[in-house]
Amino acid sequence: MPNSKLLLIGVAPLALVAAAPAMAASADAAPQAATAATTSAAADEGDGGIILVTARHRAETSQAVPISLSVLSGEHIDRTGSFNIGRIQQLTPTLQFYSQNPRNTSLNIRGLGSPLGLTNDGIEQGVGIYVDDVYYARVASATFDFLDVDRVEVLRGPQGTLYGKNTTAGAVDITTRAPTFDFSARAEASVGNYGFNQFKGAVSGPLSDKVAVRFALSSTNRNGTVYNQATGHSINGQNNIGGRAQVLWKPSDSVKFTLSGDWSRQNPECCGLVYARVGTTQRAANRQYAQLASTLGYTVPSTNPFDRIADLDTPLRALNESGGLSLKAEIDTGLGKVTSITGWRFWHWDPSSDRDYLGLPITTVSQNPSQQHQYSEEVRLAHEGKRIDFTVGAFGFYQQVRTQGLQVQGSAASKWLLKPTTSASACYNTNCLDGLTSTNNIALDNASAALYGQLTWKVTDKLSIQPGLRLNYDWKSGHYNSTVTNAAGNSVQFSANNTAAELDQLSQLAPEQFDARYSAWNFSYDVTASYAVTRDIHTYGSYAHTFKSGGVNLNGVPADSSGAPLLQYATVLPEAVDHFEAGVKTQFLGRRVTFNLDAYRTEIHNYQASVNNGQQSALRGYVANAGLVRVQGFEWDLSVRPSSRINAYFNGAYNDAKYVRFTNAPCPPELSGGSSGATASPAGTAGGVSPTSCDISGQRLPGVSKLTLSYGAEGNLPASVFGKSGEVYAGVDGSYRSAFSSNPSPSAYTWVDGYTLTNFRIGFRTDHGFDIYGWVRNAFGTNYFEQLSVASGNTGLIVGQLGDPRTYGATVRASF
């Protein structure tokens, strides 16, 4: 694959512009576009139980689509305060979102998508994120506040024959509100505790009878929820701002072009983890956390993590900036709708973190600023006929990522990280890790191209068969270069004459340089059969054979005794996925009740898992292939609307996700850090013998709860306030998830206990777009961890990312 960009951005839309008059002249009168859904997981009153979606690139009811999906309307998102993907996971039981910071973010569906706890530029994400049909290559760009969202569709299971970028776990399809030819405006302001304030606004209207525009703004600020004793500041707050502008040109009823631009920035003092607990590893007793802290005279400010106190002595920064432009062309022809989506996006990340998580100068600088630019082009044709529907498309993508890493060890590093010794000249006693610096330069060029399509054959009015095909090419070129210098600025390298001090330095920060390339063609397919038992009972079954692209490791790889990189670990094989699913979608009692149920089983060969070279002294995290993973379970969605005054929902998922075969996995902390030997000691034996790897076959995948639930209800009564007619309403939304493992290899120390979150709201809204209400989130003050992590050094220290405490406030919204 040449280094020149894969795409000629703009060629396809310009071709469509040139062809538009001729196409429009011959096009049949196209039906008016369907109105976006005004419903959600809890269908609102007045919708007749009908939710319109565009999951298959044509407007149809969600009940008729033979795909397992959840639909969240913009209204429900606004009312529940779910203003980003992290919060909507409380409304969609099979969506998992983990984020220690924007770059270290994982988005999974049914436990599949990307490895938990490790960001690697050279590895693909398994869950596709689309905003107005533009693919977002970095999950970090999805951590921003939603901007003027109309609806969010969460599609579960492989979607590679339906969407431009191959996605093996599912897709999150976000549709924003479009420009309108009638003037409209909406504004929302919220205030709350912890200094919370949020403003969202949008205005839309015509410039002429063929051109309309829409502008939207969003701003969110909140003080931190953790007090950092070292600086006297609260940390882990919010400082977000964003905007979007759209111009719609509609020269005829069958032709329209939408030019969109957006920009968002986050700049909080973030992201700090707190002391959670300590467990015993197999290090020598004098190298475990308690003894090390005593030797250095250190006391953690609180051993109760829910005191929300940290003492992080490294400046925290999480500057996250993203934006882009897109041009979407849509032309209705006699054959179908032709759509072209051209996109350019950027993502800039400028962090600073306290990698040792303590108020000790162990690692005094940890920064990995990164810059990404991506270009994409997708062209598709969607046809609807009496007996045959089809969607065919072509997709091209190019991404460039450049990262500059910097890590500096501090004055406590030698005592914390090295073995004690009586030698006066040893690094432990001379403190030769102080000032040791690693500088990394990482580059990735990533391109892919695909042809895809799905056909729906309506065998009868009730039975449909839907096969799909995808031909895909992926190419990745990565470069990794890490240099190490001591406090005097002199290079530290492997040689035959390394001193004992240099070997100690190299055991902690090792220089390494390598290039890695990956390229492959892949062919995938799926088939779905659906049958409409009645107008309101639809059944379906599907099978998909697909893949997740291979990649390159760009966090460093294990090295031999001479420091040479072991290049067999530089590339990662693609995942091979076999997916089975069956479901039924039903409505009854005059469509007042909707109940959908589906069951699934996914088997993944060469699963891409997070590992580390625990047998090496210089610890490196990277991605390698596990033998076989299996995920299976069932999901249900239930919504009830007995009248226009009451609606309720109860959604859930049972998910059994495990490693079927992973015999050479990294060991959990309780089996790590000891000496080498033929027979491993029992877990947690201080000074014991550790295995070089562990067999975790049969154990749970990280981040997956066996049972997750979301539920809620809202009721209203007619009322008049200050002469304004409307309704008083009260609502509740809750979620539950059972315990889950928070470490790639399950550890007794990193299981997160199950928890329940409950949110309330009460307010008054008029018939003319005015709404005022009070709200409380996590109303019962549940203390919970979003994630637990093993601190570096394998001292037994476990740190945690805290979930939000109880928050409360009020919101005023108006639209006209």
Query: Quick one: pLDDT at residue 26?
Result: 39
Is the Cβ–Cβ distance between 202 and 177 less than 8 Å?
Answer: yes
457/467 Cα distance (integer angstroms): 9
How much is the pLDDT for 561?
A: 80
Question: How many domains does one find in the chain?
Answer: 1
Residues ≥6 apart with Cβ < 8 Å to 490: none
Neighbour-count burial for 434-467, b at 16+ CB within 10 Å, e otherwise? bbbbbbbebbbbbbbbbebbbbbebeeeeebebe
Pick the closest to residue 46 from 33, 35, 58, 57 (CA basis): 35
331 in Cβ contact with 357 (< 8 Å): no
Give me the residues paired with residue 74 across strands: none
Question: Which tens digits make up the pLDDT trace of 302-333?
Answer: 999 999 999 999 999 999 999 999 999 999 99
Residue 287 covered by a domain? no
- What Cα–Cα distance (Å) separates residue 347 from each residue in 264, 270, 370, 483? 10, 18, 8, 26
CB 214 within 8 A of CB 204: yes
Residue 41's pLDDT is: 42
Which CATH number is 129's domain given?
A: 2.40.170.20
pLDDT confidence of residue 13: 41
Which residues on adjacent β-strands are paired with residue 653? 635, 708
Q: Which tokens hold the place of 275?
A: 């002391």
Name the phi and psi angles at 15, rounded to 5.
Answer: -65, -40
- Residue 231 inside a domain? The answer is yes
Q: Tens digits of per-residue pLDDT, 694-709? A: 999 999 999 999 999 9
- One-letter amino acid at 468 equals G
463: Cα within 13 Å, side-chain hemisphere: 2
Cα gap 309→301, rounded to integer Å: 7
Query: Is residue 742 one of the residues assigned to a domain?
Result: no
pLDDT in tens, 357-413: 999 999 999 999 999 999 999 999 999 999 999 999 999 999 999 999 999 999 999
**Residue 674 belongs to some domain of the structure:** no
The Cα-based distances of 39 to 43, 50, 76, 326, 588 in angstroms read: 5, 8, 7, 27, 18
Instruction: Please list the ranges in the chain whose pLDDT falls under 70.
Output: 1-50, 117-118, 142, 612-620
CA 381 to chain CA centroid, Å, is 29
In a domain, 516, yes or no: yes
d(CA 434, CA 28): 74
| pLDDT score for 350 | 95
Domain housing 88: 11-272+312-615+627-640
**By C-alpha distance, which of 172, 148, 149 is closest to 159?**
172
- Asked if the structure places residue 348 within a domain, the reply is yes
The residues, ordered by sequence, that sit 6+ positions from 812 with a Cβ below 8 Å of its Cβ are 188, 189, 190, 771, 772
Instruction: Determine, yes or no, domain membership for 289.
Output: no
Q: Position of tokens 């999901």?
A: 635
Whether 787 contacts 268, CB under 8 Å: no
For residue 541, being part of any structural domain is answered with: yes
- Give residue 436's identity as a one-letter amino acid code: L
